[in-house]
């Protein structure tokens, strides 16, 4: 009984001690404050992470579990056994063993079930990692292996040095040859025997590009050399494996991205080829319309060029819209952000451009203006030298070239002097004011005579004079003729010659080109008797009829 009593007392004291230890180790949480999860602890051996403890087991936090596993591993290694890792599943989890001795236990709380991990799979990975670490530990103690590893590292270092030397030589050779090639090629790019490109900028850009390429190759060679050397040293082999795995992952990701993008790129190429074929087919039709070989009711030579350009833009926009979803990275946030930015810029800044372009299209398709025609737009007068999408340019022939926005041209009255009579160049007119004391028939005859003396004025249709106004002091006479020249400078010369001939003819017949004004009534009325209505060179209707009869 005495012995039984003592055993019961000893067991009671042990239970009290365990409760007290548990209370000290895990204090009761404060009200309202959740307990923080324990910090993970790693079991590291031979520079390799064997396992990461994340949970508390029978009152032992992860840090104490890792320390205990390390001590048991050292004890197993001290026995100099076969050093064979293994696992053993039990009810609580999976044990990791070394030569049949327990090292640590992998519990369900230590793994991530959402990633598909199980205690057995994690224990197998830990055992495999432990096997690698034990092998590297044995290799570190092997002089033969260390000698072979040192020889391989020396050979790799020598190869690395030779590669760096070769890259240095290649840098010089490529830089020299590229500089010479660019200078020679750009020197051949001339416009009217004048070199238009400066080779210095392109040479500097090529040098920077070559430097970037060479440094990239150097970094790649350094990366491979470092991964190889670290992989041959047992202690740093895990670091070398990480470098190799990272390089393989990057290469795999790039190759996978290229392979995944190939179907989309093939579709983009097919869409581009179809768009190009349609554009070439349409271009062949428009070229025949422009040359006059093909006649289409709604299309002529003047509108064929802008229609072809508009159709090309529509085709490529449609092709871009079709190919956009298949472009690599089209669904990424960066690509979509750039698309939104471009759309915003176009919508904000293109309103005036769209208005000018629409006005240009209206002018082209309304056919109110054509290149080479002589027109008057507002206060500007000259030959149309360009009818573009956004602007119209006139050349006056007096050393001026006037550029007008198409929206302004469309909002002003346009007088076209090149369509009054088919087969001639353009209308040529001038206005003079002669007093009422000069017979109007004489003025008509003198103006027609002046026009007949100009070689560049067409004889058919015949020039004619109209009285466009009867002012208080003088009538206004306008001479209208048709010039055969088409260049703006020649038109200015013809108009100058016409003015000279008008002055000469009026001087020959004693008629002053004046615009009289009166401050009081004249002493004699300025009335011309009927017998003086046809002074020379005017011909009276009776004389004209007599001449025709004879």
Q: Which residues contact 96 (CB under 8 A, 6 or more apart)?
A: 51, 85, 86, 87, 102, 103, 104, 105, 106, 123, 126, 127, 130
Q: Are 471 and 411 spatial neighbours (Cβ–Cβ below 8 Å)?
A: no
Compute the distance between CA of residue 461 and CA of residue 420 in angstroms, rounded to an integer. 10
Q: Give the phi and the psi of residue 81 in degrees, each rounded to 5.
A: -85, -165
Read off φ and ψ for residue 50, nearest 5 degrees: -80, -45
Phi, psi of 300 (to 5 degrees): -130, -175
Residue 174 neighbours by CB distance under 10 Å: 16
Rg (CA), the chain: 50
Using alpha carbons, select from 380, 372, 416, 386 the residue that is nearest to residue 400: 380
Per-residue model confidence as pLDDT tens for the chain (550 residues): 444 455 444 555 455 444 444 444 344 444 444 567 788 888 887 777 888 888 888 888 888 888 888 888 878 877 777 778 888 888 888 888 887 788 888 888 888 888 788 888 888 888 888 888 777 777 666 677 677 777 888 888 888 888 888 888 888 888 788 777 777 777 666 666 666 666 677 777 888 888 888 888 888 888 888 887 777 676 676 676 677 777 777 778 878 877 887 888 888 899 999 999 988 888 888 888 777 777 766 666 666 777 787 788 888 888 888 888 888 776 777 667 777 777 776 666 656 666 666 777 777 766 777 777 778 788 787 888 877 777 888 887 666 788 888 888 888 877 777 766 555 567 788 899 998 888 999 999 999 999 999 888 888 888 889 999 898 888 999 998 887 766 666 777 888 889 999 999 999 988 888 788 776 666 776 677 777 888 888 877 766 556 555 5
Which value, to the nearest 10 degrees, does the dihedral of the CA atoms of residues 61, 63, 67, 73 take?
Answer: 90
Q: Please tell me the distance from the alpha carbon of residue 494 to that of residue 487, in angstroms, as a whole number.
A: 11
d(CA 90, CA 74): 24
| Phi, then psi, of 266 in degrees rounded to 5 | -65, -45
| Surface-to-core class of residue 122, CB atoms within 10 Å of its CB (0-12 exposed, 13-18 middle, 19+ buried) | buried
């Amino acid at each position: 009984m005495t012995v039984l009593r003592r055993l019961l007392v000893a067991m009671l004291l042990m239970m009290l001690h365990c409760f007290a230890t548990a209370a000290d180790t895990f204090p009761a949480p404060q009200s309202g404050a959740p307990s923080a999860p324990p910090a993970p602890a790693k079991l590291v051996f031979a520079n390799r992470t064997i396992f990461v403890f994340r949970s508390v087991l029978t009152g032992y936090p992860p840090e104490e579990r890792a320390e205990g596993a390390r001590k048991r591993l050292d004890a197993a290694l001290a026995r100099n056994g076969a050093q064979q890792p293994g696992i053993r599943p039990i009810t609580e989890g999976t044990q990791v063993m070394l030569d049949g001795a327990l090292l640590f236990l992998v519990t369900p709380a230590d793994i991530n079930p959402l990633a598909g991990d199980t205690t057995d799979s994690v224990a197998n990975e830990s055992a495999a990692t432990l096997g690698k670490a034990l092998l590297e530990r044995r290799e570190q103690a092997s002089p033969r292996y260390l000698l072979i590893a040192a020889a391989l590292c020396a050979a790799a270092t020598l190869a690395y040095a030779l590669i760096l030397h070769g890259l240095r030589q290649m840098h010089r050779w490529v830089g020299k040859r590229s500089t010479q090639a660019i200078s020679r090629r750009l020197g051949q790019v001339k416009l009217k025997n004048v070199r238009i490109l400066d080779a210095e900028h392109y040479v500097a850009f090529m040098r920077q590009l070559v430097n970037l390429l060479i440094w990239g190759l150097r970094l790649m060679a350094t990366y491979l050399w470092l991964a190889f050397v670290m992989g041959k040293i047992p202690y740093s082999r895990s670091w070398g494996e990480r470098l190799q795995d990272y390089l393989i992952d990057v290469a795999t990701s790039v190759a996978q991205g290229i392979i995944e993008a190939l179907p989309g790129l093939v579709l983009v190429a097919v869409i581009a080829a179809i768009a190009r074929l349609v554009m070439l087919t349409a271009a062949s039709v428009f070229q025949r319309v422009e040359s006059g070989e093909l006649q289409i009711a709604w299309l002529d030579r003047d509108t064929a060029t802008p229609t072809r350009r508009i159709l090309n833009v529509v085709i490529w926009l449609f092709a871009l819209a079709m190919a956009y979803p298949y472009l690599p990275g089209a669904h990424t946030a960066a690509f979509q952000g750039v698309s939104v930015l471009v759309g915003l810029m176009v919508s904000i800044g293109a309103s005036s451009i769209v208005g000018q372009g629409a006005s240009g299209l209206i002018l082209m398709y309304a056919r109110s203006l054509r290149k080479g025609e002589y027109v008057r737009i507002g206060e500007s007068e000259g030959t149309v030298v360009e009818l573009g999408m956004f602007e119209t340019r006139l050349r006056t022939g007096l050393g001026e070239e006037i550029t007008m926005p198409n929206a302004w041209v469309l909002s002003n009255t346009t007088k076209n002097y090149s369509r009054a009579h088919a087969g001639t160049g353009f209308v040529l007119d001038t206005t003079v004011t002669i007093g009422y004391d000069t017979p109007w028939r004489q003025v008509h005859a003198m103006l027609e005579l002046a026009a007949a003396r100009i070689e560049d004025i067409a004889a058919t249709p015949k020039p004619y004079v109209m009285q466009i106004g009867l002012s208080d002091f003088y009538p206004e006479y306008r001479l209208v003729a048709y010039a055969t020249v088409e260049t703006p400078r020649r038109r200015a010369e013809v108009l100058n010659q016409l003015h000279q001939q008008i002055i000469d003819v009026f001087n020959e017949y004693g008629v002053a080109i004046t615009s009289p004004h009166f401050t009081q009534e004249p002493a004699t009325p300025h009335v011309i008797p009927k017998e003086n209505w046809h002074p020379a060179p005017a011909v009276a209707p009776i004389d004209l009829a007599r001449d025709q009869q004879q």
